[in-house]
Structure 1
Amino acid sequence: MPEINPSADKMRAMLTETLDRLRKANEEYFALLEKGLSSSPLPIADQAKQFCHFMQRNVTATFDLGDKLVQAKDMQDALKTQSEFFQDQMRALTDQAKNMGETAMKAASGMFGHKS
């Protein structure tokens, strides 16, 4: 029968184990996705790979947040960690949106650029 009131250390250990399993499954998923996109004949495969790279970076950052929250000493530490994560994510998302916009503009100019 499971323990009704597990200690904080046991909870941390269980959460860490769960995060590790989820991280491994995530890595396998993105490896399969990358493999599928690498063999894709679609003209937008390169853009899709870039988008998947951004998704993978964001998911990895979320797992890293989970690791840090599991190790938080108290609520103030957890809130500080969450705030730093949010700020980092906003910067990353801004950069990603800029990169995707530039990629889209290059693709559009290539499609409508030169006519012989």
Structure 2
Amino acid sequence: MPQAQGEVKAARGKVPQERAKAWKCGLRRAPGKPERGTAAPARRFAHRACREAVQLLYDAMGSAAIYTERTPLDRCLRDVITAGRHVAPAEKVLDGVGDLRLGGAPGSPHF
């Protein structure tokens, strides 16, 4: 449980901080390349941290985790895995961030 809480706490701290930086850049209407590429890795980190937290709790419950009348963990794990298929936490977005940081043109609005 403490490890799962630590994962989620770290994610909660990182994402708002990076989102605020990206928002400020957008308000200037001249987003700097380094600032623009910070939100996508933060979202990816948050998703992976939350997925890991649910997985830790699921594993700790053992076989009881699959019984939905006892705990919602089975559905939570399925939902967080499904959410990982969305574009925001996708690994492919990180390729675009890497291109951006190496001086390339942004190929996606998602970062």
TM-score (norm 1): 0.45
Considering fraction of residues, name the structure with more helix: 1
Q: Which has the higher contact order (CA 8 A, sep 6+)?
A: 2
TM-score (norm 2): 0.47
